[in-house]
Amino acid sequence: MRDEAPVYYNEKYDFWALTRYEDVAAAIRDHETFSSAKGVTLDQVKAKDSQPVGVKIIISLDPPEHERMRKLVNRVFTPRAVASLESMVQATIDRYVSQLDPSFDAVADFAALFPVEIITSMLGVPAQDRQQLRLWLDTSLEREPGSMSTTPEGMEAVMKSAAYYYELIQERRKKPQDDMISRLIEAEVVEDGEARRLDDIEITGFCTMLGGAGAETVTKLVGNAVVVFADNPDQWQKLLDDRSKIPAAFEELLRYEGPSQYQIRTTTRDITLHGTTIPEGDPVLLINGAASRDERFFPDPDRFDIDRERKVGYNLNFGYGIHSCLGAALARMEGRLALNTLLDLIPRYEIDRSGLKRVHMTNVCGWANVPVRAV
Ligand code: HEM
């Protein structure tokens, strides 16, 4: 597609796709032409048939609403604020690692479990309910082969999770605690010169979004890491020799096999690229996964190399521009601590390839099962 159809059109599903680094980077920055307001997955865009997404969650808002909502949670996710969470994150990781046998499933027994604990505990979800939220989330993201719609079980899971958060918000309204839900209840947004509080539906939207984005992605990144390093043992050895390379390894993992491979936008005007015009109002897949392997930007892009030179704009896989990943600092910290822990736990390991199983999910790409054995 990058070489032969840089502005690709899919007749069957009626969407466009960009795959070259320069095109994806420019489009993802240009939120005026490439709007998020009709949804950020193709099923949302199609289902709403040109209506803006009903619930106001930051990922599917355009300015000025987007800025208002993002401001409310920005402070929690700055690198400085996130640094203060390091001991909690490490303790959470250690809690799961201490239960592992020499043979374990790097996703089902580890990577799937700890990220959701971290983000939902920040929100204020009681410990006993956190894994249930993850199971509902998994079900809601799963797709049948050939279908882009949420399954009936998925719809039910969405409702259950929304109802759960709704109830929790009522409890926090009565009895605030030191958590994000209580702070969102108190937060004010200024709209048309008037300050107002968020309603229950808006806070539920925040919780669902943060709980989802904060859990699934890190899980996929860590699962992908275990497979990618098994395929590239020389790179694992580099980390064993020098742990200061872990942050660079995280960035290269994100480029090489990012958990979020594409973002959807809807054009707000006709736009011509490489001689082809995408009409106003059409969905466009910005395939950052393909852009991250574009040989026009990355020399030898299919080589996994943690020492790769990181140019400006190196990574599109945390998004770019106004919607760039809010949780990037947290994700980087979780990834760094998880890799460091795995280096101690399985300095030498093998994966059982017959047991590898991919997820079939919207939004995220990665493994459901990665059986490993320390050797
Ligand atoms: C490796 C892990 C992660 C990856 C690969 C990732 C990827 C992304 C990407 C590509 C976007 C842009 C979406 C778009 O442009 O439409 C995004 C946005 C976002 N991410 Fe992450 N993410 C990760 C971890 C996290 C974590 C831990 C959180 C925790 C809170 C989080 C919260 C968000 C939120 C709230 C947005 C929407 C921001 C906005 O619309 O302004 N993400 N993420």
pLDDT in tens, 188-235: 888 888 999 999 999 999 999 999 999 999 999 999 999 999 999 999
CATH of domain 1-62+263-316: 3.30.43.20
Which pLDDT score, from 0 to 100, does residue 118 have? 97
Phi and psi at 17, nearest 5°, equal: -145, 140
Counting from 1 in the atom list of ligand 1, the atom nearest the Cα of 215 is: 27
Which pLDDT score, from 0 to 100, does residue 75 have? 85
- Residue 286 token pair: 């910005």
Residue 152: asked if its preceding bond is cis (omega within 30°), the reply is no
> Reduced to 3 states, what is the DSSP secondary structure of residue 168?
helix
DSSP-derived letter for residue 213 is H
Counting from 1 in the atom list of ligand 1, the atom nearest the Cα of 288 is: 10
Average pLDDT on 353-361 reads: 97
Which pLDDT score, from 0 to 100, does residue 234 have? 98
pLDDT tens sequence across 278-305: 999 999 999 999 999 999 999 999 999 9
Cα(285) to centroid of ligand 1, in Å? 17
Give the span between the Cα atoms of 96 and 332, in whole angstroms.
19
Q: Tokens 């736990």, residue? A: 345
- Residue 103 token pair: 């043979």
- Residue 143 token pair: 């797709």
DSSP β-ladder status, 15-18 and 283-286: parallel
> 151-186 b/e with 16+ CB inside 10 Å = b?
eeebeebbebbbebbeebbeebeeeeeebbbbbbee
Q: How many Cβ atoms sit within 10 Å of the Cβ of residue 80? A: 8
Which pLDDT score, from 0 to 100, does residue 148 have? 87
Which pLDDT score, from 0 to 100, does residue 54 have? 58
| Top mutation candidate among 217, 250, 330 for ligand 1, by most atoms within 8 Å of CB | 217
Q: What is the four-CA torsion angle of 255, 256, 257, 259, rounded to 10 degrees?
A: 0
- Segments of the chain assigned E as strands: 7-10, 15-18, 34-35, 103-105, 188-191, 194-197, 263-267, 271-273, 276-278, 283-286, 349-351, 357-358, 367-369, 371-374
Label residue 341 by pLDDT band (50, 70, 90).
Answer: very high
Helix axes 114-123, 86-97, angle to 10 degrees: 140
Counting from 1 in the atom list of ligand 1, the atom nearest the Cα of 69 is: 41
| Top mutation candidate among 69, 326, 333 for ligand 1, by most atoms within 8 Å of CB | 326
